[in-house]
Structure 1
Amino acid sequence: MSRPPAPSPALPPRPTGGRRQAVAFLLGLGLLVIGSFLSLDLQWAQFLSLEAARSMGRFVGEFFPPDLGPAFLVRVGRGAVETLAMSAFGTVLAALAGLVLATSASRLHPGDRALLRTPARWLLNLLRSIPELVWATLLLISAGLGPFAGTLALALHTTGVLGRLFAEAIENAPPEPGDALRTQGVGAGRVFFHATLPQVLPQLMSYTLYRWENNIRAATVLGVVGAGGLGQLLMFHMGLFHMGKTATVLGAMLLLVLLVDLASHAARRMLTR
Structure 2
Amino acid sequence: MNRPWQTLILIGSILTAIIASFLYLSMDLGALTRGDGPAQMATYAQSFFPPDTSAPWLRKIGWGLLETLAISAVGTLLAVIAGAIISLLAAGRLGEIARGLARLLLNALRSVPELVWAALMVLAAGLGPFAGTLAIALHTTGVLGRLFAEALENSPRQPARALQDSGAGATAAFFYGTLPNVLPQWLSYSLYRWENNIRMAAVLGFVGAGGLGQMLYVTLSLFQQSRALSVILAMLLLVLAVDGLSAWLRRRLA
- Normalised by the length of structure 1, the TM-score is 0.83
Q: Does 1:58 align with 2:16?
A: no
Contact 2:89-2:95 within 8 A present in 1 as well: no
Q: Quick check: 1:147 aligned with 2:129?
A: yes
2:72–2:133: 8 Å Cα contact kept in structure 1? yes
- Which deviations, in whole Å up to 9, do the C-alpha atoms of 1:129-184 show, x marking residues without a partner? 11111111111223111101110111001000100011111101122212322333
- Whether 1:237 aligns to 2:222 is no
Distance change (3 Å), C-alpha of 1:167 and 1:68? same
CA gap of 1:240–1:192, structure 2 versus 1, over 3 A, is: same
CA drift at 1:28: 7.2
Is the alpha carbon distance of 1:131 and 1:189 closer, same or farther for their aligned partners in structure 2, counting shifts above 3 Å?
same
Q: Residues of 2 paired with 1:107 and 1:226: CA distance?
A: 39
Amino acid aligned to 1:188: A
Q: Choose which of 169, 173, 179 in structure 1 pairs with 2:161.
A: 179
Number of positions where the alignment pairs a residue of Structure 1 with one of Structure 2: 249
User: In the TM superposition, what whole-angstrom CA distance separates every residue of 1:9-66 from its partner, at most 9, and x where no partner exists?
Assistant: xxxxxx9xxxx9xxx9xx7798467425422334343346585443332221111011
Question: Larger deviation: 135-144 or 207-216?
Answer: 135-144
Q: Point out where structure 2 has 5 or more consecutive residues left out of the alignment.
A: none
Please, which of 54, 69, 85 is the counterpart of residue 54 of structure 2? Answer: 69
In structure 1, list runs of 5 or more residues that go unmatched: 1-14
After TM superposition, the runs of 4+ consecutive aligned structure 1 residues lying more than 6 A away are 27-30
Are 1:198 and 2:183 an aligned pair?
A: no
Q: 2:120 aligns with which of 129, 138, 160?
A: 138
- Within 5 A, what are the aligned runs for 1:103-182? 103-108=88-93, 113-182=95-164
Question: Counterparts in 2 of 1:10-49, with a 5 A limit?
Answer: 31=13, 34-40=16-22, 41=25, 42-47=27-32
- For 2:39 and 2:139, the matched residues in 1 are separated by 40
Structure 1 residue 128, shift from structure 2 partner: 0.6
Instruction: Return the match for 1:86 from 53, 56, 71.
Output: 71
Letter in 2 for 1:246: A
Deviation at 1:78, TM superposition (A): 0.3
State the alpha-carbon separation in 1 of the partners of residues 148 and 157 from structure 2. Answer: 16
Residue identity (%): 51
Query: What secondary structure does 1:115 align onto?
Result: helix
Report deviation, 1:190: 1.8
The structure with the largest helix share of the pair is 2
Q: TM-score, normalised by structure 2?
A: 0.89
Distance in 1 (CA, whole Å) between partners of 2:11 and 2:79 is: 33
